Amino acid sequence: MFAIERLNKIKELLYREKRVDVFELSELFSVTEATIRRDLDKLEQTGILVKIYGGAVLKEDAATALHPLIPDADDAVSEEKRMIGKIAAQMIENGDAIYLSPGTTCLEIARNIKDKKITVVTNDLLIGLALKDIAGIKVIMTGGDIIHASTTLVGGFTLQTLNGIYINKSFVSVKAVHLSAGYTLNSYEEVMVIESVGKISNEMIVVADYTKFNHTGFAKLGDLTIAKKVITNKQVPSEYKKYYFEHAIKLYTTFEFE
């Protein structure tokens, strides 16, 4: 892939997810982290992003020009996420109350459940917008504080909304998966929300595309045993397949779905 093609792909990811990670981009494009940082330097000069530790976020003025609000980026990882979304949708039954965590992987789940008659609880503004016109789906937005340069709601209002409700299945998208570090997210505030969701859920299902494995995020959510089901891609490293098998954790991959 030429440099200009890589820059365009990075821009697509940035507009879609509002932030990008150096580690993930390095893995996706099979280039060094130093190369990705140089790419981000070039894009920062164009005014569409602001570099942060470990990655970059979309500038607010660039975000307001984004149309449509929920784009369909044509990249390899997005296709893998679409397949995860289709698998997850097959696990949801009419009458279920489900939780969809923030993130583009759970957004793909939302796009595949529009024929269901269910209740969806979410703290992601994009997921709420994606489902707002679907007659058979009741959408409950948690409210809360918006994390800067994202569509994620966190904080006391979010946690208060979760009190007194019960969820059949919670689908949780994680920032990273690591054998020793476990599941991690971007912030401790996000961890607090997912921990509260876990207490009111009959079942927690982790969704993570293959690029999330062998990395760590900022805040630990829990060990790899906190969920008994994981949906990922066929490219998941073999040591994780072994771990999940040995710990009686069901692993669903896009290989079976294809």
Residue with tokens 């045993």: 225
Q: What is the mean pLDDT of the chain?
A: 89
pLDDT for residue 77: 59
Task: Quote the percentage of the chain above a pLDDT of 70.
Answer: 91
For 140, counting Cβ atoms within 10 Å of its Cβ (0-12 exposed, 13-18 middle, 19+ buried), the class is middle
Convert the pLDDT of each residue in 9-40 to its tens digit: 888 788 777 888 999 899 888 999 999 999 99
Question: Nearest CA to 107 among 152, 158, 66?
Answer: 152
In the chain, the domains with their CATH numbers are 3-64 (1.10.10.10), 76-257 (3.40.50.1360)
In this prediction the pTM is 0.74
Structure tokens of 239?
């040591």
Task: Quote the percentage of the chain above a pLDDT of 90.
Answer: 67
pLDDT for residue 63: 47
> Mean pLDDT over residues 206-227, rounded?
95
Range with the poorest average pLDDT among 52-66, 132-146, 242-256: 52-66
For 73, counting Cβ atoms within 10 Å of its Cβ (0-12 exposed, 13-18 middle, 19+ buried), the class is middle
pLDDT for residue 251: 96
pLDDT at 1 over 80: no
Residue with tokens 């939302």: 110
pLDDT for residue 138: 97
Cis geometry, peptide bond prior to residue 68 (ω within 30 degrees of 0): yes
Convert the pLDDT of each residue in 118-138 to its tens digit: 999 999 999 999 998 999 999
Give me the sign of the Cα torsion angle 60, 64, 65, 68: positive
> Mean pLDDT over residues 96-109, rounded?
96
pLDDT for residue 9: 84
Convert the pLDDT of each residue in 34-79 to its tens digit: 999 999 998 888 888 888 888 898 876 544 444 444 444 444 457 8
pLDDT for residue 184: 96
